[in-house]
Amino acid sequence: MASVSTYPDVMDKLVSLAKRRGFIFQSSEIYGGTGSVWDYGPLGVELKKNVKDRWWHAMVRARDDIEGLDAAILMHPRVWEASGHVATFTDPLVDCTNCKRRFRADDPSIKGTPGQPDAQCPVCGAKGTLSNPRMFNLMFKTFMGPVEDSAAVVYLRPETAQGIYVNFLNVQQSTRQKVPFGIAQIGKAFRNEITPGNFIFRTREFEQMEMQFFVDPEAKAPERSDMEWFEYWKEQRLHWHLALGLQPERLQFHQHESQELAHYARAAFDVQFDFGGSLGFQEIEGVHHRGDFDLTRHQQYSNKKLEYFDQPNNRRFVPYVIETSAGADRTALAVLVNAYREEEVPGESEGRTVLGLAPALAPIKAGVFPLVKKDGMPEMATRVANDLRRAFPVFYDDSGAIGRRYRRQDEVGTPFGITIDGQSTQDGTVTVRDRDTLQQVRVAADQLRGYIADRIGPAE
């Protein structure tokens, strides 16, 4: 359990802002909502897409040793037997016979031992009403085809990694990649969590950004060894999170001790972010040395060889796997928490709420505002907005005082506010306001695209 953070808890404020401004809505809200399932609104889908695009660029587009993949959600059920999910992907579940609520048996809010008279329900407070723990499989089960019987059972994937493992040779042979190389994909996964929560931090439907890097278990200098690749990917992934603008002091590594490690894992570290309040440091990405467990298991269960042929040395081997597994939703939440601030503005009685998002991640890159609705300003503002929209997401707003329009864009993280005033219609320049410094400069309208592009920065 994470210790209480020195950063404030802004989760309730973020949930309110996210709904009010169109970032994230509760799924099926008009029907009372669906537990821990969320819909991304117009701004939220742009933010998460920007996070995913940066990941894809860093992991696939900017490298020649990683290939992309989009594997299906529904897979042969034997895949999940081979991976161990059917037998062991479980959590201990207890029920309260009084209030009918369900909890993980290791929930720290439970007082006493579940199944014993001293156990107290953390919701209704009744004693002796918690059942003995029973194991609960976290995979969603469904049926393929018209008949619902055991032969038709399939699962919604609980992770995207298995789609990479079963396609290892398909990708390697079609691209003629040589070990070491990786396969990356972004996709939905589903887990029937007993106690999800904390907004989009732990949900039943979520998106993963995973990369499996295949290495030679017997590599010798000057080639990197498997553990050297593991250290390399730890460093690379931490650097990527820092490049999102996450504060260095809010990031740390957590090493899995022997009791935390999966039985097949040789090493594992989590990249943790400090979400503030009682949530504190929590995992947003895992870097794992999985050995040859996954490919070996799929060989056994499929009766198909998944060996790599090293032609120069005339040897076959099952590669080791170094995995990097990040949550797109958790990363988006970390970005929002990191960016949220409330501050006073010198010379103004009202403060402002700001999402200090990195410009490359901001859902809207610029707000465009005619100072007044006359004297040709709206027409010029419309032309400016239409021109910029060909390159960036922009928002046109001519409603209310200019200060309120700035504040509305500050609240959703828009880095630049562009005002068309009386001078604009005379000399073709506009005012560009910086969200963070509040400084304003005049820029020629026909140079705006380049001015903003330079300040958004490259894709990586």
Mean pLDDT of the chain: 94
CB count, 10 Å around CB of 249?
9
Q: What's the CA gap between 52 and 330, in Å, rounded? A: 12
Helices (H) and strands (E) in the chain, counts: 13, 23
3-state DSSP assignment of residue 285? strand
Phi, psi (degrees; rounded to nearest 5) at 17: -60, -40
Q: What's the CA gap between 251 and 229, in Å, rounded? A: 21
Structure tokens at 201: 């931090």
**Which residue type occupies 84?**
G
Name the pairing type of β-strands 90-95 and 416-420. Answer: unpaired
CB count, 10 Å around CB of 349?
6
3-state DSSP assignment of residue 365? coil
pLDDT, position 1: 47
pLDDT, position 426: 95
Burial pattern 367-385, b for ≥16 Cβ within 10 A else e, equals bbbbbeeeeebbebbeebb
pLDDT, position 3: 59
Report whether pLDDT(6) > 90.
no
* Runs of H (alpha helix) within 167-283: 168-175, 226-243
What residues contact residue 336 under an 8 Å CB cut-off, 6+ apart?
A: 14, 18, 23, 47, 355
Q: What's the CA gap between 118 and 169, in Å, rounded? A: 55
Q: What are the tens digits of pLDDT across the range 227-236?
A: 999 999 999 9
pLDDT, position 150: 77
Q: What are the tens digits of pLDDT across the range 93-102?
A: 999 999 988 8
pLDDT, position 459: 64
Q: What are the tens digits of pLDDT across the range 183-208?
A: 999 999 999 988 777 899 999 999 99
Report whether pLDDT(354) > 90.
yes
Q: What are the tens digits of pLDDT across the range 238-296?
A: 999 999 999 999 999 999 998 888 888 999 999 999 999 989 999 999 999 999 999 99
| CA angle 57–60–62, rounded 5-degree value | 60
Phi, psi (degrees; rounded to nearest 5) at 337: -60, -45
Query: Within a 13 Å sphere around the CA of 304, how many CA atoms are in the beta-carbon half?
Result: 12
Q: What's the CA gap between 54 and 330, in Å, rounded? A: 15
Cα distances (angstroms) measured from residue 198 to each of 26, 276, 365: 13, 12, 28
Name the pairing type of β-strands 394-396 and 366-370. Answer: parallel
pLDDT, position 456: 93
Report whether pLDDT(458) > 80.
no
Report whether pLDDT(306) > 60.
yes
pLDDT, position 34: 87
Q: What's the CA gap between 457 and 442, in Å, rounded? A: 20
Greater pLDDT, 148 or 298: 298
Q: What's the CA gap between 185 and 298, in Å, rounded? A: 19
Q: What's the CA gap between 167 and 160, in Å, rounded? A: 12
Domains within the chain, CATH numbers bracketed? 11-78+158-336 (3.30.930.10), 349-456 (3.40.50.800)
What residues contact residue 409 under an 8 Å CB cut-off, 6+ apart?
A: 364, 367, 395, 397, 417, 435
What residues contact residue 8 under an 8 Å CB cut-off, 6+ apart?
A: 276, 277
Q: Please compute the mean of the pLDDT values over residues 392-400 and round it to a whole number.
A: 96
pLDDT, position 460: 62
Contact 139, 156 (CB under 8 A): yes
